[in-house]
Structure 1
Amino acid sequence: MLADILAQLQKQATDGESGVAAAFELNWQSLEPEAQKLACLLSLFALAPIPWSMVESAASYSDLEFDLKANCTILVERYLLQELAEDTYQVHERIRELLQQKLEDLAEADELKRGFCQAIVVVAKDIPNTPTLREIAQATPAIPHLAETATVYQAWLSDDDLIVPSVGLGRFYQGQGAYAQALPWREQSLLDARERLGDEHLDVAISLNNLAGLYYLQGRYSDAEPLFIQALEMYKRLLGDEHPDVAISLNNLAGLYKSQGRYSDAEPLYIEALASAEKRLGTNHPKTISIREYLEDLRRNCQP
């Protein structure tokens, strides 16, 4: 299909000019402004199949209020967009390059980029820590577009959303046991937070904790320990000793020590985490119950 699209475009080319570029320009000039805006929005997505639901979401965040489907049909008819299946589309690499050039000439370029990023952030936030096979299948089509946002369009992510795409990608891969694929996203999250937000921002603590957790799962205990400690110290400074996230951080470090057989180091952390969780979350909260069970299990292991 892509070859057919390019062949059709080349047939429209004027002599002495680049075939695809010339045909593209002819098609572009004949488009209404609404179709042009939609085409530019589509150029922000990665070179991968694009679910229509994500286009609708990005268009909504970009305040595009015209008939999206009608204009999508026009783009397909003009060979600027390929329909792969029902409600799934893709832009050819060369066409995407030309559309991105047009995007930079649009007065709404920044608005489209921010809208695209906001739509991706919503998807990233929905990826669970331990996705089921169904959840993995649902999230998979969005993964290339999350990666595009986390790298190419990072500048159009707000400070609050800066690490959300990379954290979501880390969860997606880590939750499947694909630790090697998760690692660069855990590392990027930490780097991005430090570079834009500074060393004393909560997102740095979150990223430290996430990276330490991945190291722990990989059995890299000596790498995980200093990061867990840094994260714990930051949570206490930024949130206060009694914040629920401090209890979770204490529990994480205690779990690392327990895995190493360092029971005397783990027990006081579990005790502190349990006291904090009981106070802030209540005695019957799932996190409180989990910490209590970890402590009880540790004490059973310590018995002669």
Structure 2
Amino acid sequence: MGFFIRHLHQHITELHQEQQGNIPTNFQVFRGQGLSIEDFEKMKKTKGGFMSFNNFLSTSRNLEISLENFAQPATQNPNSVGIFFVMNIDTAVCTKLSTPFVEVGQVGYYKGDEEEILFSTHTIFRIDRIEQIKDRNTDRLWQVNLTIVGNQDDDFNKLTAHLRKESTCVAGWARFGHILIKLGEPEKAEHLYLILLEKATSDKQRSNYNFLLGTVYSNMGEYSKALSLYERSLGIRKTALPPNHPDLASSYGNIGSVYYNMGEYSKAFLSYERSLEMQKIALPPNHPDLASSYGNIGSVYSHMGEYSKTLSYYEKALQIKKIVLPPGHPSTALTESNIELLKKKM
């Protein structure tokens, strides 16, 4: 499979060089497809951010075929949303990024009618606009406008650098477990952390591995196990660390999240407040962890129906995120989306 992918990429690159003189500098392509409702909700929250097509990307210069033959039929599935992508392409960006594409209309299903453009893998776009398309047959048809970007984009560089930094917050084998969790492989991360916990030789290691195991079980929805491990880690940290240490605040914050997911909002609120109090003492005023705590407390108030307090905490979180996070960061987009939804309730 790896050989096939590499060969196809090389072939697209060669054809791209041959066709360069026949392709306009700036043009639009279209793509229609279905997207699960869950994935579409995630996309809406990252408006202004970035998305990558990790497979070879088939697009068309023909608007009607993309919309009528692909996007609209996708709405017939009650669990999906029909997406009509409008993609703005700058060939100078593609050349600079070595993002090749090729016109393959003569060999596609629709022959010359579709004017199919095939992009190589990992093409990256900025999400410019997401708007509902009025259709008398459905309310699940949306247009998403994209612009091709890459490492010439300052926002993209800042975002990738920040995400790379986030991924190195845990070191050694523990970092590998962190990656497994991100990849949706919590069982493998659980197995790794159990081995590391068994071989731990210090209180710091034991507290960290209990904490990380708690995160695994929380992601798996096994909240009683997660709570037990978080509290065990907290007990070790209380003995080993000074009062108001950021690691203690992290423990209280994660315990609060477990209670929140269990629907025990009063207990979640107390843990979140304890975490925030410690962070205000131990951390600078614009630290990202403070933003997380403000957001967590705001979510609790939301479930209690106290929307004015919710808005206040969400806005505090957003203010910090806009200062410390790069443009297009998913966390900022999520908070902005939460504020929009909240204002509709008020």
Bucket of the pairwise TM-score, normalised by the shorter protein? 0.5 to 0.7
The verdict on how the C-alpha distance between 1:228 and 1:130 changes in structure 2, with shifts beyond 3 A counting, is farther
Aligned residue type for 2:174: A
2:289 matched residue in structure 1: 245
Please identify, of 218-227 and 136-145, the stretch whose mean Cα deviation from structure 2 is larger.
136-145
**Contact between 2:297 and 2:310, CA under 8 Å: does it hold in 1?**
yes
For residue 263 of structure 2, the aligned residue among 206, 219, 227 is 219
For residue 337 of structure 2, the aligned residue among 283, 293, 301 is 293
User: C-alpha distance in 2, partners of 1:193/1:121?
Assistant: 19
SS at match of 1:163: helix
1:141 matched residue in structure 2: 191
Aligned residue type for 2:247: D
1:183 matched residue in structure 2: 227
Q: TM-score, normalised by structure 1?
A: 0.53
User: C-alpha distance in 2, partners of 1:207/1:129?
Assistant: 20
Q: TM-score, normalised by structure 2?
A: 0.47
**Contact between 1:215 and 1:221, CA under 8 Å: does it hold in 2?**
yes
User: C-alpha distance in 2, partners of 1:125/1:157?
Assistant: 18
The verdict on how the C-alpha distance between 1:134 and 1:273 changes in structure 2, with shifts beyond 3 A counting, is closer
Shift of 1:268: 0.6
Shift of 1:140: 4.2
**Contact between 1:170 and 1:182, CA under 8 Å: does it hold in 2?**
yes
Shift of 1:243: 1.0
**Contact between 2:197 and 2:206, CA under 8 Å: does it hold in 1?**
no
Corresponding pairs, count? 177
User: C-alpha distance in 2, partners of 1:122/1:139?
Assistant: 13
For residue 122 of structure 1, the aligned residue among 153, 172, 179 is 172
Q: Does structure 1 residue 157 correspond to structure 2 residue 207?
A: no
- Structure 1 gaps of 5+ residues are 1-119
Please identify, of 139-148 and 209-218, the stretch whose mean Cα deviation from structure 2 is larger.
139-148
Aligned residue type for 2:267: D
Higher relative contact order (CA 8 A, sep 6+): 2
1:50 matched residue in structure 2: none
Shift of 1:257: 1.2
Task: Give CA-to-partner distance per residue, 1:95-124, whole Å, 9 cap, x none.
Answer: xxxxxxxxxxxxxxxxxxxxxxxxx97333
SS at match of 1:126: helix
Q: Could you tell me the percent identity over the aligned residues?
A: 29
User: C-alpha distance in 2, partners of 1:250/1:212?
Assistant: 12
SS at match of 1:253: helix
**Contact between 1:130 and 1:175, CA under 8 Å: does it hold in 2?**
no
SS at match of 1:177: coil
User: C-alpha distance in 2, partners of 1:130/1:265?
Assistant: 36
Task: Give CA-to-partner distance per residue, 1:167-212, whole Å, 9 cap, x none.
Answer: 1101111111111111110111211111110322111000000101
User: C-alpha distance in 1, partners of 2:285/2:183?
Assistant: 38
After superposition, where does 1:10-159 map in structure 2 within 5 Å? 122-128=172-178, 131=181, 135-149=185-199, 153=200, 156-157=201-202, 159=204
User: C-alpha distance in 1, partners of 2:338/2:179?
Assistant: 20
**Contact between 1:129 and 1:171, CA under 8 Å: does it hold in 2?**
no
For residue 280 of structure 2, the aligned residue among 236, 239, 245 is 236
Shift of 1:143: 4.3
2:300 matched residue in structure 1: 256
SS at match of 2:185: helix
The verdict on how the C-alpha distance between 1:282 and 1:141 changes in structure 2, with shifts beyond 3 A counting, is closer
1:267 matched residue in structure 2: 311
User: C-alpha distance in 1, partners of 2:192/2:269?
Assistant: 33
Aligned residue type for 1:229: E
Shift of 1:241: 1.5
Whichever structure has more helix as a proportion of its residues is 1
**Contact between 1:131 and 1:176, CA under 8 Å: does it hold in 2?**
no
Shift of 1:219: 0.8
1:84 matched residue in structure 2: none
Flag as ranges the 4+ runs of structure 1 deviating above 6 A. none
SS at match of 1:127: helix
Shift of 1:277: 0.7
Task: Give CA-to-partner distance per residue, 1:210-269, whole Å, 9 cap, x none.
Answer: 101111101111111111011112112111211111111111111111122121211111
User: C-alpha distance in 2, partners of 1:294/1:185?
Assistant: 30
Aligned residue type for 1:230: R
- Structure 2 gaps of 5+ residues are 1-169
The verdict on how the C-alpha distance between 1:287 and 1:130 changes in structure 2, with shifts beyond 3 A counting, is farther
1:115 matched residue in structure 2: none
User: C-alpha distance in 2, partners of 1:271/1:214?
Assistant: 23
